[in-house]
Amino acid sequence: MLYELTAYELNKKLQKKEFSSKELTDAVNSRIESVEKNVDAYVTFIEGKPDNNDNVAGIFRNIPVAVKDNICTKGIKTTCSSKILENYVPIYDATVVKKLKEARVAFTGKTNLDEFAMGSSTENSAFKITKNPWDTKRVPGGSSGGSAAAVAAGECIAALGSDTGGSIRQPASFCGVVGMKPTYGLVSRYGLVAFASSLDQIGPITKDVTDCAHLLKAIAGHDAFDSTSLNTEIPDYPKALTSNVKGLKIGVIKELVAEGIESGIEHVFSEAAKKLESKGAQIVEVSMPHIEYALPAYYLIAPSEASSNLARFDGVRYGFRAQAEDLLEMYKKTRSVGFGEEVKRRIMLGTYALSTGYFEAYYGQAQKIRTLIIEDFKKAFEKADVLVSPTTPSTAFEIGEKTDDPLQMYLSDIATIPANLAGIPAISVPCGLSEGLPVGFQIMGKHLDEMTVLKTAYALEQTIEFKEKPKLN
Amino acid sequence: MAVKDYEAVIGLEIHVELLTESKMFCGSAVTFGEEPNTHTCPICLGLPGTLPVTNKKAIEYITMIGLALNCKINPISQFHRKNYFYPDMPKDYQISQYDIPVASNGFLDVELDGGERRVRILRAHIEEDTGKLLHESKSGRLHEAKYSLVDFNRAGTPLAETVTEPDIRSAEQAVAFVSQLRSIVQHLGVSDGNMEEGSLRVDANISLRPVGSNEFGVKAEVKNMNSFRSLKKALNFEIERQEELLRNGGEVHQETRHWDEKLGRTTTLRRKEEVQDYRYFPDPDLVPFNLTEDYVEEIRSKLPELPKDRKKRFIEEYGLPAHDARVLTQSKAVGDYFDEAVKLYKKDPKNVSNWIIGEFSYHLKNANLEIDESAITPKHLVNLLNLIDKKTISGKIAKEVFDEMFNTGKLPDIIVEEKQLVQIVDESEIEKIVDAVLEENAQAVEDLKSGKEKALGFLVGQVMRFSKGKANPEIVNRLIKKKI
């Protein structure tokens, strides 16, 4: 079936005219028709026409691509899966959307997420709960759960997600697909509705590492509209796709394979690491002594920034507005009704952490921990070229299993958060199944060293030959 | 008169809108008085997903202000977010500066009639302006309005905020300080410094303390002073209000007070308990920026002539008294006017100064105009001075000509010709001629006395002949009738 192929394969076949772009779009559309009711990956669908220009660089021309619904699309609703933006239509395109338009992708739609990207299960969407295609009683992970589930279910060929503390990698891991968070600043954030500005990055969610490299190439690059965007030459990422890892030093972060990890995951993960070793890579153990503080630091920094970033949703200019007698009441009602529980929890947490008298003890301390973690990474990268861990401590959990326990939910990001705090690139690649559910292998690289990350990921993919597909009907 | 046992302690916060082409963090144009919401973009509207990009020109301007105020320019500076909810703020936070402003620890020597007073500058920083709210009610005040409209044209305009130490002791000193600061930003070319239009806004912190004390009293912050006059009135009112409170055993509350121009008094806007926690934190969308020594020195070397240098030049080069030089440099436009006029009239700069400070200022004040808004160009003024010098017109006529040229913008040459002002209008001078003519024409005098009106025409004609046509016929007529 066409929807089962990768963008790279589809592009080859399109060029050979084995089928038309319309046939491809139709195939994905009919796949959506048959499985979307079980998956609920999308918030909004986009209808487009195939592009007939043959002179477009890259492999994504007419490839069905989904976009997480916190990335602005001109003239198309961008809801952040929040009631407060339920009918919000942006008047401009995010830089990544512009780039994808230049690459002439066929947009399938906007995918569901945890409201404002706050969550790890996509259960925090104001509209619907996305299901994991591997087991629809389970969550797809989050917050880019819609994008990961859509790719896994064949409801699109590739997708964009955003990753603040693991929001690309954790759902990719849960859904058995590839997800990458690039170096902070590599991909423009302009048009990504901000959650935590110093941590947010847009990245690809794809079926394999090859598509990931191509999609990253399509969206990376300096953007004058983003002051944190890096002005650096963009390497030809697909050139990294060699499985030669001879002599590559792979550091296993010992703190991330210790307690709290499901034994099934630990097993699949270490088998995968052994396979890399058999390919000539050298496995070393590294320690990151401060990593245990990453989670608390993250849950101060991210909510602090969010409390400020989300202030603009006040009912004055756009989005939902509650009727009220005066301004203050309007603000209060709009935000009480417009935001969901998790968003409100984090806004309150962040507001508190930034308050006079608490700032130094919370935000200030968290920033110091952030510096310590960056130092930890620097030291670790002196011993290894890439650092690896299981992407998540558990496989996809059941819907409703953790909704009453935010702390347990937060713990599912324990292995992914450090890369956001340090701003380094990290990828999750499927490396096997544990009790029928996918396990993700996380590879982190040095600042701007996407090439080594992709090379390692490709080598892993080639050795593992993870061919399983979710059985959706 | 009551014994004055309190002294006022005043610190000022002055916001100046910078005249950059585009706004602080986006490409929208900086404008004034345009159709509401026509100069906005997704960024200054704070639409979801947008990001700020710093306007380099604004950083240059605030650096210039810092240098002109003798400040230290901090090598690394940073933007912070000031968080509070208000409908004129698109993001519900203002991008401002907090612990590392661009400039800090400066001073300005304020020139007063009795000498100079050094006012220390705590800091000068850069931030973005808010939009404007239009409350739809008769008074224009929020509490009476049925609804309010927002105009975001101003949102994101670069603002320079200068904060002084509490070194000011009177309303007059405050006015002198603001006036001098305004002249500086004008000379730098970074702002028009127009208080009435809100491009220069002053907030004042005022407290009183017993003379001789080194402690500070409880302060009140006064806002909404939209002209030099209201600044002076508001501060004097507030000083008197606090003095009366203290004298009667009361206490001053720490609060923000609103100057009501119509009522001529300050009223409580919000109490200290209502003071907001702005939850400042570094803006993660904007990385800290470096102002290297080279950068600062380059800007310093390119600084234009500042008011104090100009004043010095006026004294040394043109021989002006210090008072004249100070008045002429209080605004850039006046200084420019004087420089240009003196170029055309090198022989007597003091004469030019007298006219600008005297007659011209008087007219401008009455018409509520700035010198560069007047129709009288330096060429006009010099034309007038030359007419006086050539004695074409008298000083008295000159004032009439000035009046006419102020109202019409016509050159004095033309006014004098059109109005035939070269003629003799001096009655005593005319009277001498009249007397001589009457003495010589006894017959005609007799004829006139006996009712022969024709004789009057003859006599007037004789006077005109003697005065070579310059005598004013009306005066001549009147004088002849009076004398007969």
Of the candidates A423, A429, A421, A431, the one whose C-alpha atom is nearest the C-alpha of residue A449 is A423
Return d(Cα A309, Cα A301) in angstroms, integer: 12
User: Are A64 and A321 contacting, i.e. CB atoms less than 8 angstroms apart?
Assistant: no
Q: Tell me if residue A469 is catalytic.
A: no
A228 touches chain B (CB under 8 A): yes
Of these residues, A121, A125, A167, A394, which one is catalytic?
A167
Residue type present at position A350: G
Element (H or E) spanning A205, and its range? strand A201-206
Q: Which residue do the tokens 């200290």 mark?
A: B272
| Three-state SS letters, B125-190 | EEEECCCEEEECCCCCCHHHCCCEEEECCCCCCEEEEEEECCCECCHHHHHHHHHHHHHHHHHHCC
The dihedrals phi and psi of A73, each to the nearest 5 degrees, come to -125, 120
- Helix segments in A63-157, DSSP class H: 95-102, 145-153
Nearest to A312 among B92, B285, B286 (CB): B92
Contacting residues of B for A71, CB less than 8 Å apart: 49
3-state secondary structure of B430: helix
* Chain A nearest-CA residue for B81: A308
Per-residue confidence (pLDDT) for residue A472, from 0 to 100: 83
The beta-carbon neighbor of B91 closest among A80, A305, A311 is A311
Using a CB-CB distance cutoff of 8 angstroms, which residues of chain B are in contact with residue A224? 53
Residues A227, B81: C-beta atoms closer than 8 Å? no
Query: For B196-219, what is each residue's pLDDT tens digit?
Result: 889 999 999 999 999 989 999 999
Q: Which residue of B has its CA nearest to A359?
A: B279
Q: Say yes or no for a CB contact (<8 Å) between A311 and B83.
A: yes
Instruction: Give A418: exposed, middle or buried? Use CB within 10 Å, 0-12, 13-18, 19+.
Output: buried
d(CA B480, CA B427): 12
Q: How far is CA B47 from the centre of its chain?
A: 37
pLDDT at residue B468, rounded to an integer: 61
B45/A198 CB distance under 8 A: no
Is the CB of residue A298 less than 8 Å away from at least one CB of chain B?
Answer: no
Under an 8 A CB cutoff, do B51 and A190 touch? yes
Looking at the complex, report in whole angstroms how far the Cα of residue B239 sits from the nearest Cα belonging to chain A: 31
- Closest by Cα among B107, B146, B136 to B123: B107
Q: Please state whether A255 falls in left (phi above 0), alpha (psi between -120 and 50) or beta.
A: alpha
Q: Contact, B219 vs B206, CB < 8 A?
A: yes
Contacts of B131 in chain A (CB under 8 A): none
Q: Looking at the complex, does the CB of residue A429 fall below 8 Å from at least one CB of chain B?
A: no
Q: Could you give the CA distance from residue A403 to residue B151 in angstroms, rounded to a whole number?
A: 43
Tell me which chain B residues have a C-beta less than 8 angstroms from the C-beta of A354.
83, 279-281
Angle between helices A209-219 and A95-102 (to 10 degrees): 110
**Given CA atoms B41, B46, B50, B56 in this order, what sign does their dihedral have?**
positive
User: Where does CATH 1.10.10.410 sit in chain B?
Assistant: 427-483
Angle at B292 between CA B291 and CA B296, to 5 degrees: 75
Judged on CB neighbours under 10 Å (0-12, 13-18, 19+), A443 is buried
Average pLDDT in the B419-446 region? Answer: 82
What percentage of chain B has pLDDT greater than the value 90? 72
pTM: 0.90
- Beta strand spans in B252-323 (E): 255-260, 265-271, 281-282, 289-290
Q: Give the C-alpha separation, A139 to A409, whole Å.
A: 12
**Cα of A308 to nearest chain B Cα, Å:** 7
Task: Give the span between the Cα atoms of B376 and A286, in whole angstroms.
Answer: 81
Residue A456 at interface with chain B, using a CB cutoff of 8 Å: no
Among B50, B51, B83, beta carbon nearest to A308: B83
Q: How far apart are CA A280 and CA A463, in angstroms?
A: 12
The contacts of residue A461 (CB under 8 Å, 6+ apart) are A178, A208, A209, A429
Parallel, antiparallel or unpaired: strands A386-390 and A249-253: parallel
pLDDT in tens, chain A (473 residues): 999 999 999 999 999 999 999 999 999 999 999 999 999 999 999 998 878 777 777 899 999 999 999 999 999 999 999 999 999 999 999 999 999 999 999 999 999 999 999 999 999 999 999 999 999 999 999 999 999 999 999 999 999 999 999 999 999 999 999 999 999 999 999 999 999 999 999 999 999 999 999 999 999 999 999 999 999 999 999 999 998 999 999 999 999 998 789 999 999 999 999 999 999 999 999 999 999 999 999 999 999 999 999 999 999 999 999 999 989 999 999 999 999 999 999 999 999 999 999 999 999 999 999 999 999 999 999 999 999 999 999 999 999 999 888 888 888 899 999 999 999 999 999 999 999 999 999 999 999 999 999 999 999 999 998 888 998 85
Cβ-based contacts of B279 with chain A (< 8 Å): 307-308, 351, 354-356, 359
Residues of B in contact with A313 (CB under 8 A): 48
What are the beta bridge partners of residue A178?
A206
SS3 annotation, B230-267: HHHHHHHHHHHHHHHHHHCCCCCCCEEEEEECCCCEEE
Residues 224-283 of chain B whose Cβ lies under 8 A from any Cβ of chain A? 277, 279-281
- What is the value of ipTM here, to two decimals? 0.96
Cβ contacts (< 8 Å) between A335 and chain B: which residues? none
Query: Is A20 a known active-site residue?
Result: no
> Which residues, 6 or more positions from A163, have their beta carbon under 8 angstroms from its beta carbon?
A144, A169, A179, A181, A200, A201, A202, A203, A416, A420
Measured CA to CA, the distance from residue B191 to residue B199 in angstroms comes to: 7
Chain B residues lying within 8 Å of A317, measured CB to CB: 45-46, 90, 150
Of A125-129, B4-8, B370-374, the poorest mean pLDDT is in B4-8
Q: CB-CB: which of B42, B53, B284 is closest to A305?
A: B284
pLDDT band with cut points at 50, 70 and 90 for residue B394: low
Beta strands in A218-320 (DSSP E): 249-253, 282-286
Is A82 annotated in the active site? Answer: no
Domains of chain A, first to last: 2-242+459-464 (3.90.1300.10)
Angle at B13 between CA B9 and CA B15, to 5 degrees: 160
Does the CB of B82 have a partner CB in chain A at under 8 Å? no
Distance of alpha carbon A160 from the chain centroid: 7
Confidence of residue B469 (pLDDT cuts 50, 70, 90): low
Total beta-carbon pairs less than 8 A apart between chain A and chain B? 96
On average, the pLDDT of chain B sits at: 92
For residue B145, pLDDT beyond 60? yes
As assigned by CATH, the class of the B427-483 domain is mainly alpha
- The per-residue pLDDT for B1 is 40
Out of A81, A120, A121, A143, pick the active-site residue. A143
Question: In angstroms, rounded to a whole number, what is the distance separating the alpha carbons of residues B301 and B423?
Answer: 55
What tokens were used for B399? 């004032």
A354 CB near a chain B CB, below 8 Å? Answer: yes
